[in-house]
Amino acid sequence: MSKELQDKVRKIMSEVFNVPVDTISDEIEIGDIEPWDSLGQLNLMLALEGAFSVHFTTGQVLELNSFRKIIGYLNESLN
């Protein structure tokens, strides 16, 4: 897990959810902050798709519901 990838995802999450970057911990998952609800999840997935040129299936949108899962998926997809 590269620090650069983690930092980029934290920055995107911070922008999507309009929260400080330090709010995005390694353990954060959907529901831990108010803006990360089902609509927030969709917005996050769209932002990640644009930033990393990946495409998420409906199942992945539902499954990738934590920082760790997102990082794990991107690590596999981008390498």
Please check the confidence at residue 10 and state whether its pLDDT lies above 60. yes
3-state helix, strand, coil in the chain (%, to 5): 65, 5, 35
Q: Where are the domains of the chain?
A: 3-78
**What is the average per-residue pLDDT within 52-61?**
96
DSSP-derived 3-state class of residue 29: strand
Question: How high is the pLDDT of residue 79?
Answer: 79
Q: Are 48 and 34 in contact (CB under 8 A)?
A: no
Segment 66-76, tens digit of pLDDT: 999 999 999 99
CATH number of the domain located at residue range(s) 3-78 in this protein: 1.10.1200.10
pLDDT at position 1: 57
Across 1-10, 24-33, 52-61, least confident range = 1-10
Q: What is the pTM of this model?
A: 0.94
